[in-house]
Copies of this chain bind each other. A is one copy, B any other.
Amino acid sequence: MSAAPASGPTSTSPEVLAAECLQGSRRAAARLISMLESADGGAARAASRAVARLPLPAQTIGLTGPPGAGKSTLLDYLIGLLRKRNLRVGVIAVDPSSPFTGGALLGDRIRMSQHGPDSGVFIRSMGSRGASGGLAAAASDALRVLGGAGFDAVLLETVGAGQSEIEVVNLADTVCVVQVAGLGDDVQLMKMGILEIADVFVVTKGDRPGAEDLKLQLERAIHEAPGEVCRAIRQLGPGFAASFQGPRWTPEVVLVSALRAQGGDELLAAFERHRAYLATPALAEALRTSRAAREIAWRATRRLGDALNERLAPGGDLAALAADCAAGRLDVESAVARALGGSA
């Protein structure tokens, strides 16, 4: 399991590990991510604070799509292409590891692949158990670890099973949605919001029957819903959209056949075009600021929440509020008001 304790001695502080990480230590990076996922909330929060000063990777690409769309194979193919361009590649594969999904984790499958021994590649699975403050917060911290350790491009992969996975993939600069012909219900999937999260679509197994058709279908859906698309501007909210005079991004659709090594360079070119789009001056600044605001807010909120939980627990200075609520002497909203009043 990904959350297993690091094998070495664990006395090293997260600050020391963060410094080692900046020197390029893979071992320090791995141990920091383990700490971030620790079931010990105090250790996880200390690690989160230590990595806050590490830089984000230069480029993060989110990959999501339904099971069976060929994400593992595509990821393997992309890693190879990025390595040929001399980029150091990080992969964070997010699998919701509930008691009911006991299968092989994606990251483990890739780790066993051809890129496992390559020191320019770092692959890590993250599960959703034990991630204090939410999976997206833990993944965001892990991105800083990989950025700090000098990985140029990070592929952030989810199986796309729920809200928290969508939040994770939205941490990426560019979101790539993987589709494959023949899984059925293509049009229905599009209706359900897939256009809202994609900057680039990949149709995998591009040499198979139906792939070209699916590409055309996706392109038609994109062009019929121009107001719906452009994830970056939508994330910045209606205020920004109204004031922004620059261009809108139109999602691209690329056919890829990983097995035949076809379409990969075209896909990377689409990622580059999206990256150039995000560098549009006013947009780039707004995205950086909005991202910083979100990160400050969730870090501060998590700290306030931890403090409140402690104060409300037995022995804490607000424990009487919980007892009064439990006994029906106080309603929960009045207790909230008193808890907030008392913390001001």
CB distance from A282 to the nearest CB of B (A): 12
A239 to B292, CA, bound (A): 38
Residue of B197, B291, B298, B323 near A289 (CB, 8 A) is B323
Segment of A78-86, A222-230, A244-252, A299-307 in the binding face: A299-307
Contacts of A241 on B, CB cut-off 8 Å? Answer: none
Find out whether the CB atom of A299 lies under 8 angstroms from the CB atom of B336.
Answer: yes
Which B residue's beta carbon lies closest to that of A191?
Answer: B102
The verdict on A160 contacting chain B, using a C-beta distance below 8 Å, is yes
CB distance from A195 to the nearest CB of B (A): 9
CB distance from A36 to the nearest CB of B (A): 15
Q: How many of chain A's residues have a CB under 8 angstroms from any CB in B?
A: 75
The verdict on A112 contacting chain B, using a C-beta distance below 8 Å, is no
The verdict on A128 contacting chain B, using a C-beta distance below 8 Å, is yes
Find out whether the CB atom of B326 lies under 8 angstroms from the CB atom of A292.
Answer: yes
Chain A stretch 212-246: residues in CB contact (< 8 A) with chain B = 239-240
Q: With A192-B102, A314-B239 as known contacts, state yes or no: A339 contacts B165, CB within 8 Å.
A: no
Using an 8 Å CB-CB cutoff, how does the interface string of A116-160 with B read, 1 for contact, 0 for none? 000000000000110100010000000000000000000000001
CB distance from A338 to the nearest CB of B (A): 9
Residue of B161, B185, B192, B321 near A162 (CB, 8 A) is B161
Which B residue's beta carbon lies closest to that of A330?
Answer: B292
Find out whether the CB atom of B298 lies under 8 angstroms from the CB atom of A322.
Answer: no
Contacts of A314 on B, CB cut-off 8 Å? Answer: 239-240, 289
Contacts of A192 on B, CB cut-off 8 Å? Answer: 97, 99, 102
Residue of B166, B290, B300, B308 near A98 (CB, 8 A) is B166
The verdict on A272 contacting chain B, using a C-beta distance below 8 Å, is no
Q: With A66-B100, A293-B309, A312-B296 as known contacts, state yes or no: A52 contacts B189, CB within 8 Å.
A: no
The verdict on A65 contacting chain B, using a C-beta distance below 8 Å, is yes
Contacts of A332 on B, CB cut-off 8 Å? Answer: 52-53, 292, 295-296, 299
The verdict on A4 contacting chain B, using a C-beta distance below 8 Å, is no
Contacts of A49 on B, CB cut-off 8 Å? Answer: 333
Residue of B100, B135, B240 near A160 (CB, 8 A) is B100
Find out whether the CB atom of A340 lies under 8 angstroms from the CB atom of B304.
Answer: yes
The verdict on A59 contacting chain B, using a C-beta distance below 8 Å, is no
The verdict on A12 contacting chain B, using a C-beta distance below 8 Å, is no
Find out whether the CB atom of B194 lies under 8 angstroms from the CB atom of A99.
Answer: yes
Find out whether the CB atom of B296 lies under 8 angstroms from the CB atom of A96.
Answer: no
The verdict on A10 contacting chain B, using a C-beta distance below 8 Å, is no
Find out whether the CB atom of A163 lies under 8 angstroms from the CB atom of B293.
Answer: no
Find out whether the CB atom of B297 lies under 8 angstroms from the CB atom of A161.
Answer: no
A52 to B288, CA, bound (A): 37
Q: With A289-B326, A314-B239 as known contacts, state yes or no: A162 contacts B333, CB within 8 Å.
A: no
Extra contacts, 6 of them, besides A129-B193, A289-B326 (Cβ < 8 A), are A96-B163, A99-B160, A135-B163, A292-B332, A293-B319, A344-B344
Which A-B residue pairs are the 7 nearest by beta carbons?
Answer: A96-B162, A128-B163, A292-B325, A288-B326, A293-B322, A301-B305, A293-B312
Q: List 7 A-B contacts (CB under 8 A).
A: A52-B333, A99-B160, A162-B162, A239-B314, A240-B314, A289-B314, A304-B304
